[in-house]
Chain A
Amino acid sequence: MTQELAIATYGLTKRFEGHMAVNDIDLRIKQGEVYGLIGPNGAGKTTLIRMLAAAEEPTKGEIYLNGDRLLRDDSNPLLKKRIGYLPDDFPLYDDLTVWDYLDYFARLYHLPQPARHRRLLEVLELVQLESKRKSIISTLSRGMKQRLSLARTIIHEPILLLLDEPVSGLDPLARQQFRQIIKILQEAGMTILISSHVLSDLAELCTSVGIMELGFLVESASLKELYRRLSRQQIILSTLGKMEVLQQKLSQNSCVETWETIPQSNSLKVNFTGGETNRAELLRSLILADIPLTEFHYSQEDLETIFLKLGHQQTS
């Protein structure tokens, strides 16, 4: 094992009143990843994250964070310091100021002075709430409260962040701000698990995705692998010469699966399976065959399409 696992669960199960909210999940997340957990409402994302944060007792199964067993009691204060958990409803205290609220949690996590003061300033700057430090929490807007909650989540410099639907309910600008912050945190080396029922929230953030349905983790892979496995590569070819010559040449290449002509133009869309060298090979062979190419454009299907395809596979 070259890279230690930030999260490893074994047979993690949670039952509520006769139905399985989370069903026998073996989750593996490598350190430094941004793992997107996607699934429709009621799929069990919140329940899974709550168990990972030690906020819920699993019915069965074990959780290891960086190789240490997570248990729900007084026994592992160090392990608890590694986790930052932002639940979907992020309750706050109305009677405290922004500064006192963060100060309170910094103390709960045993941050000593003067590091505490420094960290508070740092975090406030990160979530862009410096100007609000003296305000009472109940006077903040929803987006500010969300960012304040995120600040609370990272105040003790956790190495594992668990964010449950952090951007749902925010306007586009606030979403963009939030994503910016997540990126900074990822660059700082945190492992981040982030859930959403909308893929587009996560597409530009994640390095891996897991898909949950009815309590099962039906897919879990790195983005690269997903692309490799499921995204079809396409090459657009345009020629000045005869299409038949081009098509004949293409049919000789083993990496070309199918193609379709693009109407009203002298172009083709080729579904291609090979790697980069195969692509170079194809281009060379076409040029050697004296085909007057005007375009050789390579593209991949985007994550949205892949996700739709996955969904299609699951429901059938």
Chain B
Amino acid sequence: MKNIQLHNSISLWERFLDWNPQLFREIKGKLKTRNVVIAAAISTLVQFVVVISLLGELPAPETKNGYFQSIQSGRYGFGSGYGDRWTYTKDMFDNWVINWQLLWLDLFIALSIISIFALLIVGTYMLVADTVKEESRGTLNFIRLTPQSAGSILLGKILGVPILLYVAMLLFLPLHFTAGLGARIPLTLILSFYGVIVASCAFFYSLALLWSLMNFGSSFKPWLASGAMGLFLFSLTTALFHHPRLISNTLWDWLLLFNPSIVLSYLIDATYLPQHQVDFLPVGNLGELVFYGQAWWTKASWGIGFVLFNLSLWIYWCWSVLKRRFHNPQHTLIGKSQSYWITGWIVAIALGFTLQNTSSYRLTDNFILLQFCLGIFGLGLIAALSPHRQALHDWARYRHQTSREGNVLWKELVFGENSPSTVAVAINLAIAIAYITPSILLHLDRDRHYTLLGFILGAGSIILCAIAAQLILTMKTRKRSALSIITVASMLIIPPLCLGIADIYPQNLPQAWLFSFIPTIATKYATTSAVLLTMLGQWLGVAVIGFQMTRKLQQAGASETKMLLDRTNSLND
């Protein structure tokens, strides 16, 4: 009987390993007894330290013969006091009365925060370091050649590479779960909190894989990724604890939804412990967060639902980019048609968080912030969509022989692989502006014209950057990427910097500021003719650079053909 059970469990384990070969490989490589023991020891030690430090707040045992006794106070007393100091009282049987529920809740929160930090920061580091190593050694190329799908390999990586971390976190689970129940948090909320943690891991791990599959650098990549992750988590989590008025009713609020800790607000609220004792972002405050005029976050179900929706949406797009990327590491980071979808979703959500105020004055500021973020996003798009010299030259030269789009130029520029990015960037910005415009016209009154003009001017300067960057990427120098980044950065940063140094403010000389990165701050003061002239200037610039690039590409194609013929002839002689 026992034998059969043993056999069954072995074959179950076998079947689990059979399910994903990559997971099998990670388990075989990493799950060794020594490592598991170390992980378990660290996990236990951390739990022990946390419990001990919480128990330190309890009243000290009385000395037997001491008749003089000072009043004991601490976090878990029920007597009078304030902040973290409440006097401990005794019941009629001479036992200390202790706020056990608060103690359990503190334990729950501490373990939650520790595991979120550990999972996201350490997990990101492990994934990026592992993938970067495999990529630089060339072992990942073998896996690409097997009939496995990108999805199965990457899923195996996500499940397998941080497996020791998962072991350590699983050992947190019993105590964490008990603490949650002890704090009288409803079971469903605890489970949905686990769901949010899993979803955020899935999102950030996919992002980490994407980051490690990008074509630059290698040694600093894991550190940079986990450092950024740590900074993000640390700043947002401390803010959750110390700023009861955290919701700014601007686009920034969106960032909060990527931090799984925010869901703790609902869990704490469900314990009915007094707010001042816990000192975490109150649910009432979370209720001020508005999306398209609706306060979704007042109720736990909707709030957690939206957090999960937001994470799932970006997990989906991360995976769509990852799948493409895994098999074509030489291509641009994202495909052109993918970029339109991603822009659409980002703008749809960003606008939702922009429309959070009813007062026109603050709403205008929100739109300026949106325009600024759209600019940053536009720069990201340039980087993600622009093919490099070789790909561009090949495209220009072999377009007519290899194209699958049937040689229609506009189709290739809009959807094709390796074609110049400028048109696609312009379309992305057009999608964004087209979606934002109705809201500007509806919700702003006095400011609507100059805000709209600001958006259009901003888009113009991004397109100018895009085409300049693309032109530089076709040049022959070695440091093309660096050069194009420097050019774009100087096009954006130097003008406002000079203007700032020269004490020229948008109010005095708006024309100069129209060319800057956030033209919205200047359009207010500029005349319409100046704005139109600026626009004309931008498009002239785009046309000139575009013409220059077309010529260069044609030249490149022609000289390539000539070179080829020369070499063939010399070989045939």
Contacts and interface: CB of A to CB of B under 8 A. Distances in A.
**A and B associate:** yes
Interface of A: 15-18, 20, 23, 53-55, 57, 59-60, 72-74, 77-78, 80-81, 83, 85, 87, 89, 91-93, 95-97, 100, 103-105, 107-110, 113, 152, 213-214, 216, 218
Contact of A91 (B22, B138, B144, B401): B138
B556 to A, nearest CB: 9
Nearest to A78: B147
Contact of A87 (B22, B138, B147): B138
Interface of B: 14, 18, 21-22, 24-25, 28-30, 137-139, 141-150, 323, 327-328, 330, 389-390, 393-394, 398, 401-402, 560, 564, 567, 571
A107 B147 contact: no
A104 B24 contact: yes
B571 A95 contact: no
Contact of A108 (B137, B143, B323): B143
A60 B147 contact: no
B146 A92 contact: no
Contacts of A60: 394, 398, 401-402
A100 B28 contact: yes
B390 A17 contact: yes
25 contacts: A15-B390, A16-B390, A55-B145, A59-B398, A60-B394, A60-B401, A73-B328, A74-B149, A74-B150, A74-B323, A77-B149, A83-B145, A93-B25, A96-B28, A96-B29, A97-B28, A104-B24, A104-B25, A104-B28, A105-B146, A108-B146, A108-B147, A108-B148, A109-B146, A113-B18
B435 to A, nearest CB: 32
Looking at A81, A110, A218, which has the most chain B CB atoms within 10 Å of its CB? Answer: A110
9 pairs of A and B residues whose beta carbons are closest in the complex: A77-B147, A107-B21, A108-B146, A95-B29, A104-B25, A100-B28, A91-B138, A80-B147, A108-B21
A55 B144 contact: yes
A199 B77 CA distance: 88
Contacts of B323: 74
A91 B29 CA distance: 16
A88 to B, nearest CB: 10
Looking at A97, A108, A110, A152, which has the most chain B CB atoms within 10 Å of its CB? Answer: A108
A91 B14 CA distance: 28
A23 B147 contact: no
A57 B390 CA distance: 13
A73 B327 contact: yes
A91 B145 CA distance: 14
Contacts of A218: 571
A314 B317 CA distance: 53
A100 B24 CA distance: 9
Given A213-B571, A214-B571, 16 more contacts: A54-B145, A59-B398, A87-B138, A89-B138, A91-B138, A91-B142, A93-B139, A100-B28, A103-B28, A104-B24, A105-B142, A107-B18, A107-B24, A108-B143, A152-B142, A214-B567
A59 B557 CA distance: 13
B401 to A, nearest CB: 6
Contacts of A20: 564, 567
A113 B10 CA distance: 14
Contacts of A53: 145
A105 B143 CA distance: 8
Contacts of A16: 390
Contact of B328 (A59, A72, A96): A72
B567 A80 contact: no
B153 to A, nearest CB: 8
A218 B323 CA distance: 39
A109 B323 CA distance: 19
Looking at A85, A89, A107, A213, which has the most chain B CB atoms within 10 Å of its CB? Answer: A107
Nearest to A54: B145
A198 B149 CA distance: 38
Contacts of A105: 142, 146
Nearest to B17: A107
Given A20-B567, A72-B328, A100-B28, A55 B139 contact: no
Contacts of A92: 139
A57 B143 contact: no
B337 to A, nearest CB: 16
A80 B145 contact: yes
Contact of B571 (A15, A80, A104, A216): A216
Nearest to A75: B327
A104 B394 contact: no
A96 B148 CA distance: 20
A59 B394 contact: yes
A57 B145 contact: no
A279 to B, nearest CB: 36
Contacts of A97: 28
A87 B14 CA distance: 31
B547 to A, nearest CB: 23
A23 B566 CA distance: 13
Looking at A77, A81, A97, A104, which has the most chain B CB atoms within 10 Å of its CB? Answer: A104
Contact of B21 (A91, A95, A104): A104
A96 B44 CA distance: 28
B129 to A, nearest CB: 13
Contacts of A108: 21-22, 143, 146-148
Looking at B21, B145, B150, which has the most chain A CB atoms within 10 Å of its CB? Answer: B145
A93 B29 contact: yes
